Amino acid sequence: MSEAGGGRGFGSSVPQRAPWSLVAATAALCLVSATSVWTAGASPMSREEKQKLGNQVLEMFDHAYGNYMEHAYPADELMPLTCRGRVRGQEPSRGDVDDALGKFSLTLIDSLDTLVVLNKTKEFEDAVRKVLRDVNLDNDVVVSVFETNIRVLGGLLGGHSLAIMLKEKGEYMQWYNDELLQMAKQLGYKLLPAFNTTSGLPYPRINLKFGIRKPEARTGTETDTCTACAGTLILEFAALSRFTGATIFEEYARKALDFLWEKRQRSSNLVGVTINIHTGDWVRKDSGVGAGIDSYYEYLLKAYVLLGDDSFLERFNTHYDAIMRYISQPPLLLDVHIHKPMLNARTWMDALLAFFPGLQVLKGDIRPAIETHEMLYQVIKKHNFLPEAFTTDFRVHWAQHPLRPEFAESTYFLYKATGDPYYLEVGKTLIENLNKYARVPCGFAAMKDVRTGSHEDRMDSFFLAEMFKYLYLLFADKEDVIFDIEDYIFTTEAHLLPLWLSTTNQRISKKNTTSEYTELDDSNFDWTCPNTQILFPNDPLYAQSIREPLKNVVDKSCPRGIIRVEESFRSGAKPPLRARDFMATNPEHLEILKKMGVSLIHLKDGRVQLVQHAIQAASSIDAEDGLRFMQEMIELSSQQQKEQQLPPRAVQIVSHPFFGRVVLTAGPAQFGLDLSKHKETRGFVASSKPYNGCSELTNPEAVTGKIALIQRGQCMFAEKARNIQNAGAIGGIVIDDNEGSSSDTAPLFQMAGDGKDTDDITIPMLFLFSKEGSIILDAIREYEEVEVLLSDKAKDRDPEMENEEQPSSENDSQNQSAEQIASSSQEVDLVDQESPEESSLNSHPESLSPADTDNAASISPSEQNSNPTENHETTSLDGECTDLDNQLQEQSETEEDSNPNVSWGKKVQPIDSILADWNEDIEAFEMMEKDEL
Ligand code: DMJ
């Protein structure tokens, strides 16, 4: 796609200011750019380099948006591997993720205001016309209220906000007459029936055509919703009210927020992840700043910024105080229990929390923002992307990465606050990684597994709504954007709402809001923004000095999430024993175990079994410590078991026109060449005859020296492997015969042997589900010669191949190849041409075992321990510890010395209540295991 006629790329200058509001000025304090005050630390980036990176972002956006418009529109999203649109109902269901898709051209609407930020004004004008012409908001589809609000209502309002700005400027959008706003209002009314609950909390889903109550609605039976789902409406709903004068939207969103506030856990001031929309009971009592809660906090602070209502700031500050007291363990942010906030609920973090440093910048609490951001960056440097979840010692917990923008968002805000060019370098790395690992001929593909570099056929709309906006703005100077970005606030989906709304149509009666707050006292300005004008000239190395101790945090750390440093130093006593530190040969540890009521049994096979009898603990506090120790041990053991399973492998198509850009998730085999230990295998592919590979091959000349493709079914995997190996193949790919199966929707497994000795099999064997396999089969139809790489982790693209591709011609050739793939992908036929009757048989005598994927079963406490007073765990553990831990230990010891009288603040709890609590914990753990982001 070419640059917009009259649109501006980097380097142009149109400084024009939109109206300001005082509220905005106050709250935008922390976003005052400090670029001019930076004098030391990372070397400054030249204007040319910034422009180059900005232009690269524009080219990347064109690649994503252009392919969506060409191959997917009017579908909701682009499927970048098969190069077609994702239409709900036509693809296998992915569960809740699909609730964002309402057959309303989601990606187009979500991209509207990005087009203006990126100076693609002409394209914006075209896109608005398409929305008005093509989008139907009345489909018989059940959608998520939350996603529809942030992406579609937010997208329409962001589009409207910039449309009226452009109209006022006098060149573009002169024909515009609030049509997007009218659509937004129509959608707002469609969402309102969701609020018809006694609590005022919205139902999580609604049918766009039939609402909630009608029998045709197919929804309305849900009892729970997530806190973020109910608490992330106020910006869009208030903007809709203020733009249109219809106050009902703001009223409903305020009512939901008021209810959540009332339901906060009063002693901790935290909220849980899931709430019952009818009773207001917390269904999940764990609490963090990531999945399920994130944007509730974001919207409290931003509602204050946009609406100027002090009660929102006071609520935010109350929660923030609790977050910093219990959840923040710099650089980590760890979930805790709302009723026992000193007890961690998890030993891992999810990727959504990466937005939090950005919010801390807006709040003005820069130090922890720098720390957490740096920790996240170290994780990214290790895995190229932020895995969906990672443990406190920075191992992958959930390996996928759907191109989430949160880290880019925080990078942008930190750069704005500090002016430190380090953050520009961070942005540059993000751009490089996206191009290197996620870019495919037809867009950008989500990572299925950051460890292997394999892809998922998915490009979420938020990638266009948010990622490109934040990356572009990171490198942009004021004159590179045709309006003043500081006149707007970013919604959670990065849609832009003008700050002048704070003084428009303020007709919401205060009686509808909690009015217990009159004036803000000084405490509301604790942790406020350090004045960058003072901070940085005095200490230009400020941000760097905070980052420096964290440089090796990922490579050299022990998990520290379990024991709270503050607990340790407050206690005046030794911190409790952590599962990871436990050594069965250490007498001191055995003594602690005994106190906690944990006994240790040496099994005959050399393993050690731990059993807890809470009743035998020295005190209820020791019993509680024992409980926590056992929980840690169960998680640790589950993690270790997971690690022992073979991770998925990658099939990378390296020949023209793919050049390594398409990486498919493959299941490993428990026999044959182990790709994690040996060099990868590279070769052209050839179909075996018979296609099922269950007898001696009749086409050995075709497969000799090649990687044979074999269809699953009718004999054992090992037998197939032997047959293709005897025919001279150097590797094999088994393709699932179950048409439509995909690693996106089915759990991956390992191909097990046949119960006999499989040492004779020396070639590597991988398994592909049908959809991934058909990508290779389509490529063969189209290009005949298709070369692939079988490996444990995708390799960088072949530099020689890369050089052949010049940026100017890249889009053309990619689009052409993508088109070809798209047209051929409709014709895939996996049935063996030679013997159709054989192929139609669908028996699978081979042995399977789960591969290490998110779908693999994991041990939960309830599975492990049916009796709460008798916990079992068997394990053997090392007691290795590292720098960070030692530092923390030292810190806690020092602070212990200076605080000899401070106690942990724990009350002695009766055993009954500990057991009751424990049951709750187990429930929470079970639910967390099931939880999807
Ligand atoms: C976006 O849709 C929004 O930012 C939302 O609040 C949560 N995260 C996704 C992208 O990761």
Residue in 99, 109, 150, 297 to alter for ligand 1 test, most ligand atoms within 8 A of Cβ: 150
In terms of DSSP bridges, do strands 224-226 and 787-791 run parallel, antiparallel, or are they unpaired?
A: unpaired
The rounded distance, in Å, linking the Cα atoms of 510 and 246 is: 16
- Choosing from 232, 353, 410, 492 the residue with most ligand 1 atoms within 8 A of its CB, the one to mutate for a pocket test is 492
Which residue, among 627, 550, 547, 595, has the nearest Cα to 870 in the 3D structure? 627
pLDDT at 601: 76
Residue found by looking up tokens 């179909």 in the block? 687
Exposed, middle or buried: residue 514 (CB in 10 Å: 0-12, 13-18, 19+)? middle
d(CA 246, CA 238): 9
Residue 409 Cα to ligand 1 middle (Å):
11
Angle of the 154-169 helix axis to the 121-134 helix axis, nearest 10: 130
d(CA 435, CA 455): 13
Residue 502's pLDDT is 87
Q: Which one is catalytic: 147, 250, 286, 460?
A: 147
Residue 880: its pLDDT value, please?
Answer: 30
Nearest 5°: the CA angle 508, 264, 324 is 105
Give the containing element (helix H, strand E) for 918. Answer: helix 911-930
C-alpha closest to that of 70 among 442, 458, 441: 442
Per-residue pLDDT, 30: 43
Ligand 1, residue 151: give the atom nearest the CA.
Answer: 2
Of 460, 372, 369, 411, the closest CA to residue 53 belongs to 411
Examine the residue annotation and report whether 294 is marked as an active-site residue of this protein: yes
DSSP letters spanning 455-518: E-S-B-HHIIIIIHHHHHHHH--GGGSSS-GGGEEE-TT--EEEGGGGGS-----GGGS-----
Confidence (pLDDT) at 548: 84
- Give the SS3 label for residue 203: coil
b vs e for 315-325, b when ≥16 Cβ sit within 10 Å of the residue's Cβ?
bbbbbbebbbe
Q: Which run of H or E residues covers position 90? A: none
**Residue stretches of the chain with pLDDT short of 70:** 1-41, 505, 507-540, 556-575, 603-608, 638-644, 797-933
Residues facing residue 281 across a β-bridge: none
> pLDDT tens across 424-437, in order?
999 999 999 999 99
Annotated catalytic residue, options 123, 335, 406, 480? 406
Residue 524 to residue 245: CA distance in whole angstroms: 31
- Nearest ligand 1 atom to the CA of 232 is 6
Residue 388 a catalytic site member = yes
Report which protein residue has its CA nearest ligand 1's atom 1: 493
Three-class DSSP category at 669: strand
CA distance 421 to 45: 6
Q: Which two tokens stand for residue 213?
A: 């109550």
Distance 440 CA to ligand 1 centre (A): 23
Task: Kindly give the number of the ligand 1 atom that is closest to the alpha carbon of 294.
Answer: 6
Pocket test for ligand 1, best of 459, 462, 469, 491 (most atoms within 8 A of CB): 462
Ligand 1: which residue has its CA nearest to atom 10? Answer: 404
Which has the closest alpha carbon to 707: 798, 788, 653?
Answer: 788
CA 1 to centroid of ligand 1, rounded, Å = 26
CA of 704 to the centre of ligand 1 (A): 49
Q: Closest ligand 1 atom, CA of 409?
A: 4
Residue 402 CA, closest ligand 1 atom number: 11
Q: Which of 110, 309, 388, 460 is catalytic?
A: 388
- Which residue's CA lies nearest to atom 8 of ligand 1? 352
Active site residue 147: yes
C-alpha 118 – ligand 1 centre gap (Å): 20
- Separation CA 688–CA 765 (nearest Å): 14
pLDDT at 838: 31
Taking the CB of residue 750, how many other CB atoms lie within 10 A of it?
23
3-state secondary structure 544-589: HHHHHHHCCCCCCCCCCCCCCHHHHHHHCCCCCCCHHHCCCCCHHH
- Cα atoms in the 13 Å half-sphere on the side-chain side of 571: 16
Amino acid at 756: K
Distance, CA of 790 to CA of 732 (rounded, Å): 9
Pocket of ligand 1 (CB under 6 A): 150, 295, 352, 404-406, 462, 492-493
Catalytic residue among 98, 294, 460, 487: 294
Q: Where are the beta strands (DSSP E) in 736-828?
A: 749-751, 765-768, 787-791
Output the pLDDT for position 187.
Answer: 98
The position carrying tokens 């609920």 is 345
Q: Is 449 a catalytic residue?
A: no
Nearest CA to ligand 1 atom 11: 404
Between helices 422-433 and 366-383, what is the axis angle to 10°?
A: 30
* pLDDT tens digit sequence for 854-902: 332 222 223 333 333 333 333 322 223 323 233 333 333 333 333 333 2
Write the CA distances from 460 to 101, 411, 440, 602, 747, integer angstroms: 10, 21, 14, 51, 21
Which amino acid residue places its CA nearest to atom 3 of ligand 1? 493
Atom number, ligand 1, closest to the C-alpha of residue 228: 6
Q: For residue range 774-788, list pLDDT tens digits in order.
A: 999 999 998 889 999
Distance 493 CA to ligand 1 centre (A): 6
Tell which atom from ligand 1 comes closest to the C-alpha of 298.
6
pLDDT value of position 218 = 95
How much is the pLDDT for 633? 80
What is the whole-number distance in angstroms between the Cα of residue 144 and the centre of ligand 1?
13
Q: Dig out the tokens for 435 from the structure.
A: 């191009």
User: What is the pLDDT, as a whole number, of residue 167?
Assistant: 98
Kindly give the distance from the C-alpha atom of residue 157 to the centroid of ligand 1, in angstroms, as a whole number: 17
- Protein residue with least CA distance to atom 6, ligand 1: 492
CA of 294 relative to ligand 1 center, distance in Å: 9
